[in-house]
Structure 1
Amino acid sequence: MHQGFQVSSRSTPEQYGHTPLGKQLRRRKSIEAMANDAANNAGLGSLKRSLGVTQLVMISVGATLGTGILVILGSAVPVAGPAIWIAFVLAGITALLSAVSYAEMAGMVPVSGSSYSYSYATLGEGMAWICGWCLVLEYAVSAAAVAVGAGAYVNQTLEIFGLALPQALAAGPGDGGIINLSALIVVILATLLLVRGARESALANTAMVIVKIAILIFFVVVAFTAFNAGNFAPLLPMGAAGVTGAASMVFFSYIGFDAASTAGEEAKNPQKDLPRAIMIAMVLVTTIYVLVAVAAIGAREWDWFANSEAALVQIVSEITGQKWMVLAFALASVIAIVSVVLTTLYGQTRILLSMGRDGLIPRFFAKVSPKTHTPVIGTYVTGGAVAIAASLIPLGQLAEATSIGTLFAFSLVGVSVMYLRKTQPDTPRTFRVPLYPATPILGIAACLFLMFNLAGITWVVFGIWMAVGAGIYLGFGRRNSRLGALDAKAYEAELNL
């Protein structure tokens, strides 16, 4: 018997050479087999354990903090009204319910695949592929969406000096331009930094996260100098439905808290540090989001946000009237966006590494450079694809499509926790979901609720995305899965007994 895979005494060659689709979709990869694969990366070069808990926290914060506040606030406030802060709380609670499940799974399965690997160990190859395909939507597409938002802040900065990018270079074809040059440059810079090494990327990200926290605190202080409590009345002009709809939209701003879980093979002490990093990041991000949302509404009436793509920098400009402050804030906002792009691209390349190692996508995604200890080829391919998407596709379509894939992946993590609690109750856990089983059940229900609050067109896009993924799996992944190859070897070994 091959470690991690079971072979019955009644096995036949057909089971391994031509495994029925239903059986193949249900095949699971054991946690032990994942750990063994991670140790040698299937002979494709190894990652280096160089990240401590602080750097892991900064990866999650870097991938999360700033996205919704800096980019999406202008489109979410008109949906929820002054209750936008409640929408952030609801989205934060939903993310927290998933975060505790991530924390438990990250401690048990400390590999680079995040929820893709968790699903492979519990729900089988089929659901693992679906989850991995959703994570491509989460990480790569969210990196592109955030990079698109950088253009608005670059233009806001240039306007201080009476300048502006030509429309042809300020937006993609869907927004009346030809190419979003700012977004393209941001993604290229992040890609080049990632190639240099995980430790170098983490250090750069830590510096950028400190900058983004500082500018958001600065915004809160400035906004509260013009605070008007009357801006919160009426609190629910769009009703409760507006709040839940906005919560589904701003959930995009919590995407990335799970980024630390993709560093399972580069963390110095993954079993202890990954759960801690995820929980610390969630509490920090939610607190700052709610503070900024309250401060923004207090400074401006909610209908003011309808015509603002870079709302925070405009508020700073109108309140202070100081060009140097606006310039500093706008430049720092761009740095904050670069941090999000950097860390989400990092997470994406590590998930693709795990999928490539398993044979479900081309194996060059899993090849690690012996010099930099990074998946260089996979990083360049991923960065190139994200750069093209960021420079040509509008933000709104990207953001909403990302949310639905992320919510689905998060729900699978809750299912994975419940599966392992039932099948491996005595396995040591460095973090345990509190109030089990209520917490993962509520987390799954909250994710499904927010999914069903998204627009119909988002479901159509998601359906098309899943259909494309199914085609790739059936055409490539099913035939090249290493799990299937290992099954075949196990069968041959059994015949020789």
Structure 2
Amino acid sequence: MTKQVTPARPHVRLGAQLLQRKSVDAIIADNEGVEPGQQLRRTLNVWHLTMISVGAALGTGILVILSTAVPMAGPAVWIAFVLAGVTAFLSALSYAEMASRVPVSGSSYSYAYATMGEGIAWVCGWCLVLEYAVSVAAIAVGAGQYINEAISVFGLSIPDAWMQPPDSGGIVNVPAAVIVLLATLLLIHGARESAWVNTLMVLIKVGILLFFTAVAFTAFNAGNFQPLAPMGVAGISAAASQLFFSYIGFDAASTAGNEAKNPRRDLPRAIIASMIIVTVLYVLVAVAAVGALPWTQFSDSESSLVTILSDITHQPWVALLFSVGAVIAIASVVLTVLYGQTRILLTMSRDGLVPKLFGRVSPRTGTPIANTLIVGVAVAMTAAFVPLGQLADATSIGTLFAFALVNISVIYLRRNRPDLPHTYKVPLYPITPVLGFLFCGFLAVTLGLETWVVFGMWMAIGVLLYFAYGRSHSVVASTRQVEHRKTATAEPDENTTQDPVSPGHS
């Protein structure tokens, strides 16, 4: 069992600490050497892991964002989905290799720590907080409209006061808060139980999307695709940047490294399989939707797919069925993305960069209860009261930044640690990770200036938090300080081991 070093205020220079790497060997040892009663339970197989990634990604782009993307790209919205999907898939291949080489729950945060040092790792972790926590709130907000569509069949509706935040004329978004809190309670109960519930929800939402496709193709009109790209390449690129939000979550399986039965083998398979499933379904539904409804008639309503089904079938039960399925689909995204957020914070906590409370695991349930409760309540409050606006759009920048770092991490480990055990290698190396990095950069620069400003403010807050807490509590910096003192006071010994967390070593 790896002995945890009690963090002490480090006296290492700031520049050295920011560049200090944590070796892959140390990352794996720390995750495997957790004291008894604090381990996460290894109960998830490749099927569970694939469903976690599919559950986290599938649904958002089609159920919530499609209506805003169609006016930007026109009938070519399916091309925008492909462009965003290719960008995500290139990074998914890099995620698959990194997950096989560093099979822990830290995802891109741990990969950055092993390759680029503590400073970039913190930035990456803070980006993941934006990617997961804020996107969960943004996704949950979209549930209210589908709930209203479902109960409208019975002549009922939720008043705007209980379905909108204060800035939109409401009081509180009750449906969004309830969905997040229910997901929180389920996650506390156990990872395996949550995985089985998520699997059921994923099968339901795949079913309703295939059902929509089948119905929409009965009213398919090829003339709706003329002209294909009325807004030109710029419109497709802008739509692709926004639709990239739809793929956020495919990396969720990489946050389950400490709960996977065979992470080196199963994580790469789950990541790649989930990307293929999500991309195919997104393109299929987008083509069916535009084929059934001229692109100029798409509204800003989050329930445009329900409108299409109602116009085609004129059957209330169809709208009810799809709306209920859509709520389940959104709940699945909330559940799996919330799961990923708690595991990222758990890993960061054990590195000393966030408070220890986030790293405590219940011996009874094998889950980080306090961590999950704090995150769940915070996200529920955000979804219920806070206007997300540009902060939700900024999640795409945070995600693109994290993906870009993973592509760099693959190149670094291939060059510096080719001896690491692995079960998967990125094809066409180094072309694939280089293209993955460039595609992420391309989509990032196409996002609006206001979104970049909001993202910059978010990162400024992250820097302040690092200096307020992480800088002085870093386990890696404390370990380095202890090793430095031993080296300075002890005689050289032929059995002295190399510092596992010294700068430049990985």
Into which bin does the TM-score normalised by the smaller protein fall? over 0.9
Deviations 1:10-58 (A, max 9, x none): xxxxx98421111100000011111111113367711000000000000
8 Å CA contact 1:140–1:345 kept in 2: the answer is: yes
Q: Tell me the equivalent position of 1:107.
A: 100
User: Is structure 2 residue 87 aligned with structure 1 residue 90?
Assistant: no
Q: Tell me the equivalent position of 2:299.
A: 306
Q: Tell me the equivalent position of 2:390.
A: 397
Q: How far apart, in 2, do the equivalents of 1:262 and 1:233 lie? A: 43
User: Is structure 2 residue 313 aligned with structure 1 residue 291?
Assistant: no
Corresponding residue pairs, total: 487
Q: Tell me the equivalent position of 1:326.
A: 319
User: Is structure 2 residue 174 aligned with structure 1 residue 172?
Assistant: no
**Secondary structure in 2 matching 1:402:** helix
8 Å CA contact 2:9–2:472 kept in 1: the answer is: no
Q: Tell me the equivalent position of 1:75.
A: 68
8 Å CA contact 1:145–1:398 kept in 2: the answer is: no
8 Å CA contact 2:51–2:198 kept in 1: the answer is: yes
Q: Tell me the equivalent position of 1:34.
A: 27
How far has the Cα of 1:410 moved from its partner?
A: 0.3
- Choose from 209, 214, 227 the match for 1:221: 214
**Secondary structure in 1 matching 2:299:** helix
Change (3 A) 1:162 1:16: closer
8 Å CA contact 1:104–1:432 kept in 2: the answer is: yes
How far has the Cα of 1:317 moved from its partner?
A: 1.4
8 Å CA contact 1:154–1:334 kept in 2: the answer is: yes
RMSD of Structure 2 on Structure 1 (CA)? 1.7
How far has the Cα of 1:192 moved from its partner?
A: 0.3
8 Å CA contact 2:391–2:451 kept in 1: the answer is: no
How far has the Cα of 1:396 moved from its partner?
A: 4.7
How far has the Cα of 1:321 moved from its partner?
A: 1.2
Range moving further from structure 2, 56-65 or 28-37:
28-37
Deviations 1:427-461 (A, max 9, x none): 23211011111110110110011011111111011
**Secondary structure in 2 matching 1:41:** coil
User: Is structure 2 residue 154 aligned with structure 1 residue 154?
Assistant: no
- Choose from 475, 485, 490 the match for 1:496: 490
8 Å CA contact 2:357–2:370 kept in 1: the answer is: yes
Q: How far apart, in 2, do the equivalents of 1:205 and 1:398 lie? A: 27
User: Is structure 2 residue 20 aligned with structure 1 residue 20?
Assistant: no
Q: How far apart, in 1, do the equivalents of 2:17 and 2:445 lie? A: 30
User: Is structure 2 residue 357 aligned with structure 1 residue 357?
Assistant: no
Q: How far apart, in 2, do the equivalents of 1:428 and 1:380 lie? A: 36
| Long gaps (5+) in structure 2 | 492-506
Range moving further from structure 2, 243-252 or 311-320:
311-320
Q: How far apart, in 1, do the equivalents of 2:206 and 2:187 lie? A: 22
Letter of the 1:496 partner, please give it: A
Range moving further from structure 2, 333-342 or 43-52:
43-52
How far has the Cα of 1:207 moved from its partner?
A: 0.3
1:356-395 to 2 correspondence within 5 Å?
356-394=349-387
How far has the Cα of 1:269 moved from its partner?
A: 0.3
Letter of the 2:106 partner, please give it: G
8 Å CA contact 2:106–2:343 kept in 1: the answer is: yes
Q: How far apart, in 2, do the equivalents of 1:436 and 1:239 lie? A: 32
Q: How far apart, in 2, do the equivalents of 1:24 and 1:358 lie? A: 13
8 Å CA contact 2:11–2:481 kept in 1: the answer is: no
Q: How far apart, in 2, do the equivalents of 1:231 and 1:320 lie? A: 19
Change (3 A) 1:30 1:192: same
Deviating 4+ runs (over 4 angstroms): 2-5
Q: Tell me the equivalent position of 2:246.
A: 253
Q: How far apart, in 1, do the equivalents of 2:486 and 2:3 lie? A: 12
How far has the Cα of 1:131 moved from its partner?
A: 0.2
8 Å CA contact 2:190–2:366 kept in 1: the answer is: yes
**Secondary structure in 1 matching 2:379:** helix
**Secondary structure in 2 matching 1:160:** helix
Change (3 A) 1:17 1:477: closer
- Choose from 401, 406, 414 the match for 1:413: 406
8 Å CA contact 2:99–2:264 kept in 1: the answer is: yes
Q: Tell me the equivalent position of 1:476.
A: 469
Deviations 1:196-237 (A, max 9, x none): 000000000000000000000000001001111111111111
How far has the Cα of 1:246 moved from its partner?
A: 0.2
How far has the Cα of 1:326 moved from its partner?
A: 1.1
How far has the Cα of 1:161 moved from its partner?
A: 2.2
Deviations 1:246-294 (A, max 9, x none): 0000000000000000000000000000000000000011000000000
**Secondary structure in 1 matching 2:425:** coil
User: Is structure 2 residue 229 aligned with structure 1 residue 242?
Assistant: no
How far has the Cα of 1:306 moved from its partner?
A: 2.6
Deviations 1:353-409 (A, max 9, x none): 000000000011010000000010000000011101111234653431111100000
- Choose from 203, 209, 214 the match for 1:210: 203
Letter of the 1:223 partner, please give it: A
How far has the Cα of 1:493 moved from its partner?
A: 3.0
| Long gaps (5+) in structure 1 | 6-14
8 Å CA contact 2:73–2:229 kept in 1: the answer is: yes
Change (3 A) 1:54 1:304: same
